[in-house]
């Protein structure tokens, strides 16, 4: 589900894409939501149903279990809203918000879900920063159950079956280039996980992959540089704080 259907303005110079879990927020929202479950824990039989590559299906079962146990929407929203932002991330949002409007088109691509992301962004007052949010749709049904669905299907062997961020990024950049009549000057991708490595593979030499230092995305980029030099095209900037991202973005924003 892509929240926001209106076409963004066509004058933005740069595109910046954010992941959510362990990038914007400092924890995994899927892990945090368990704090709203009875005893703040899940039964072993439920945990044992997880299969690699099928995390979305697993979370559907987790949310169904929580509904059966009577966990209300307010309890889920409360634990999600309390997740701390990653270091320097709110300062990065402030930087983007105060740049001239023609600088950055800001997009979010996440394997979390609409309810978690929208709840958190609204709490910190950052929802309006994002022109598009690509994530798994999640809505409460009449029985009070948070129903989670997959974002799409794809054929990428690297990614979980419900989401390939490379497919999303490629389609978005292609569509926006057609709508704008020209490409973005640069594309920036801010992430941390293995599923953020996949979209970073299609970035070009003018683009930047901001990989959270010592997280899977950073390690995978380091490995590909060592194993197949020259294959990974983007500039890689490891980040420990949003301040590291601001520093690099400021330099590019001052380019003419």
| Residue 243, marked binder | no
Phi, psi for 40 (deg, rounded to 5): 55, 35
CB atoms within 10 A of CB 245: 23
Q: Are 5 and 179 in contact (CB under 8 A)?
A: no
Per the annotation, the verdict on 143 as an active-site residue is no
| Sheet strands (E) in the chain | 2-3, 14-18, 104-113, 132-136, 138-140, 146-148, 186-191, 208-212, 235-239
Q: Is 21 annotated as a binding residue?
A: yes
141 is in an annotated binding site: no
CA atoms within 13 A on the CB side of 76: 26
143 is in an annotated binding site: no
Torsion sign over Cα 163, 166, 172, 175: negative
Tell me whether residue 31 is annotated as binding: no
Catalytic residue among 11, 19, 196, 207: 19
Rounded CA-CA distance 56/112 in Å is 9
8 Å CB contact between 224 and 204? no
Pick the catalytic residue: 11, 21, 103, 171? 21
Instruction: Find the Cα–Cα–Cα–Cα dihedral 32, 38, 40, 41, rounded to 10°.
Output: -100
Binding site, annotated residues for Mg(2+): 19, 21, 192
The residues annotated with a catalytic role in the active site are 19, 21
Binding site, annotated residues: 19, 21, 30, 111, 192
């Amino acid at each position: 589900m892509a929240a926001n259907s209106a076409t963004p303005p066509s004058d933005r110079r740069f595109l910046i894409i954010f992941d959510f879990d362990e990038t914007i927020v400092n924890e995994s929202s899927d892990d945090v939501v368990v704090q709203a479950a009875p005893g703040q824990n899940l039964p072993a039989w439920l945990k044992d149903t997880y299969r690699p590559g099928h995390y979305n299906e697993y979370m559907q079962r987790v949310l169904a279990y929580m509904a059966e146990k009577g966990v209300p929407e307010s309890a889920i929203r409360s634990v999600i809203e309390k997740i701390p932002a990653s270091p320097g991330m709110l300062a990065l949002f402030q930087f983007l918000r105060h740049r001239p409007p023609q600088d950055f088109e800001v997009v979010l691509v996440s394997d979390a879900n609409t309810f978690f992301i929208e709840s958190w962004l609204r709490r910190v007052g950052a929802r309006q920063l994002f022109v598009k949010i690509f994530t798994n749709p999640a809505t409460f049904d009449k029985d009070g159950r948070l129903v989670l669905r997959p974002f799409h299907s794809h054929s990428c062997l690297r990614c979980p079956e419900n989401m390939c961020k490379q497919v999303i990024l490629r389609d978005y950049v292609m569509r926006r280039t057609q709508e704008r009549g020209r490409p973005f000057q640069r594309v920036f991708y801010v992430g941390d996980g293995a599923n953020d490595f996949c979209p970073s593979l299609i970035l070009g030499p003018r683009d930047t992959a901001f990989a959270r230092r010592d997280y899977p995305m950073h390690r995978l980029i380091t490995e590909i540089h060592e194993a197949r030099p020259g294959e990974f095209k983007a500039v890689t900037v490891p980040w420990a704080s949003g301040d590291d991202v601001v520093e690099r973005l400021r330099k590019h924003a001052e380019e003419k």
